[in-house]
Amino acid sequence: MSLTIRPTLRPVVWSNIDSHGKMKRREPSTSSDEEDYYDSPSRKRRKPLTQPMVYYPPQLTPSEKLWRDRCAFLYQRGYQLRPRYQPHWSPAVMGNGRHHHSGEDHIMQIVPQVLDAIRRQDGLVVCVKMISEVRKVHHIKITEFFSTRRMTSDTRNHVVPFYDCFADTYSPNIQFMVMPVLRRFDDPEFVVVSEVVDFISQALEGLVFLHENHVAHNNLIADHIMMDAKSIIPTGWHFVSHFCEPDGMTRVKPLERRNHPVRYYFVGFGNSCSFPPGKQPLVNHLGAEDEEVPELLSRKPYDPYKLDIYTLGNVFKRQLFQKYYSLDFIQDLLKYMHIEDFAQRPAADSILQAWYRIRSALDEDDLENTRLTKKEEAKKLFSSRLSTDKPSPSGSSRSTHSSNAGTRSDKRDISSILNN
C-alpha cells in the first residue's frame, strides 16, 4: 500500500510567462487527493492534539536550580523542599483541577536567597535563607544570640527567632539559616487605629531592647519588619503567593488583628553592627538603604543607633501617617525621631517614653472603633463625586448623565478597593 504525502505549502505563481517570453505549461497533478486538498475551501487544517495551547509550567531559573541541586542535602539535614525543587520533578500538567496552568509547582521563586521547606521532625513550614556573602555571616551570630533562653524570656525581644544553621556541602562560603515563615508587617493591611498603636509600641520596644544589648540594625526599613501572621491566617499561606493558601490557588481570608493579636519581628541583620560598652559608636556607610537620612548624605561617620531611630521614623511616616487618616497623634513622635542632627537626636529609650505619654492620652474605645481610611482612596472618591456634580448642557441629559457617572464611579472605586 502506497502512502501519499501532502505538501504543506503550494508554490506561489507570480506570472504565467517564463523568462523566454513563452507561456508556461502546468504539469498535470499525479494525485487526485492533492487537488481536493487545495481546491476545497471548506476543508480546514486541524492542529495536532499533542501540542498544548500554553506551555506550562515555567522552567527552573538559575537560582532555583541551586536549590534543586541541594534538595537531597537539605533533606538529610531534616528539611524537605516543595515538589518543584525535587531532583526528578514532573510538573502537574493539569494543575490543580481548576486551571491547567495553576498547579502549585508552577509558582516560581521571587527572592533567590530564601525558600520555604517543611521541617521533617514536626511538619512545621520554615524559611531557609542562603547566605553567600562573607560580610553578612555575622547575621547568623546576632540572630542566634537573641534566640538564647535568657533573651527570649524578655517580651521586648523582637528579633526573628533562630531555628538552625549549617554550612553548605557544595560551597564552604555558603551558610544556611532556618527561621520561621513570616509576612511583611502591613500584609494584610491595618484595619483600625488600635492595630497601628500596637505595631508602633512593639517596634519601639524591640528597638530599645536591641540597643540595650549593644546592637544597631543599621538598615531598619519597612522590608525588614515582619509579622507572625498565624493567628490572623490560621489556614497558612503560600510562601511566594502570599494572597493564596498553601495550595497556591485558594484566596486567604485574614482575620482582624484587634481580635487576634500578632507579633512583629526585625529581620535583615546583614548590615548590623555591635559595639562594646563605653566605645563611641561611629561608623562609615555600611549599606543602609534609606537615602533620606541626613547623616548618610554627608558621607561622614555617623551613629548607627541614631540611624535606626530615623529610619524607623520613616517607616511610621511613609507606611502609616502618609497612608491613612486618623493618625495625627503620631506627628509629634515623628518630629522627635526626625531631628536632623544625629548628635541631638534622642536615644531609643527616650523615644519610647515619649510614645508612652502620647498613647496614655488616647481613648482606648476610640482606638478600637475608629476604622482606618486610605488617603488615596478618599481622594479618588472625592474626585469622582466632583465629576458627578458637574452640570451638563441640557437638563434632560443632566440627570441621566449624573446617574450613569455615579454608577461608573462607584464601580471604579469598589474595584480599586478590591484590587488593593
pLDDT tens digits, one per residue of 103-137: 788 888 989 999 999 999 999 999 999 998 877 78
Topology of the domain covering 181-371:
Transferase(Phosphotransferase); domain 1 (1.10.510)
Binned at pLDDT 50, 70 and 90, residue 412 comes out as: very low
Q: What is the pLDDT of residues 216-267, one digit of tens each?
A: 999 999 999 999 999 999 999 999 999 999 998 899 999 999 999 999 999 9
Quote the pLDDT of residue 284. Answer: 85
Binned at pLDDT 50, 70 and 90, residue 338 comes out as: very high
Quote the pLDDT of residue 57. Answer: 62
CATH homologous superfamily, domain 61-94+101-180: Phosphorylase Kinase; domain 1 (3.30.200.20)
Q: How far apart are CA 32 and CA 35, in angstroms?
A: 5
List where CATH 1.10.510.10 sits in the chain: 181-371
Tell me the three cell numbers of residue 217.
Answer: 540594625
Q: Please, what sign has the CA dihedral across residues 84, 90, 95, 96?
A: negative
Average pLDDT taken over every residue of the chain: 82
- What Rg, from alpha-carbon coordinates, does the chain have? 31
Binned at pLDDT 50, 70 and 90, residue 417 comes out as: very low
In this structure, the chain runs to a length of 420
Does the pLDDT at position 292 exceed 70? yes
Question: 353: number of CA atoms within 13 Å, CB side?
Answer: 5
Of 415 and 36, more confident: 36
The CA-atom distances, in angstroms, between 186 and each of 31, 260, 263, 389 are 72, 15, 12, 36
Quote the pLDDT of residue 226. Answer: 98
Binned at pLDDT 50, 70 and 90, residue 416 comes out as: very low
Q: What is the pLDDT of residues 1-24, one digit of tens each?
A: 555 554 444 444 444 555 455 555
- Where do we find the cell 533573651? 151
Q: Please, what sign has the CA dihedral across residues 399, 401, 405, 408?
A: positive
Quote the pLDDT of residue 297. Answer: 85
Inter-residue contact 389 to 383 (CB < 8 Å): no
- Where do we find the cell 486567604? 252
Binned at pLDDT 50, 70 and 90, residue 384 comes out as: low
Q: How far apart are CA 21 and CA 32, in angstroms?
A: 31
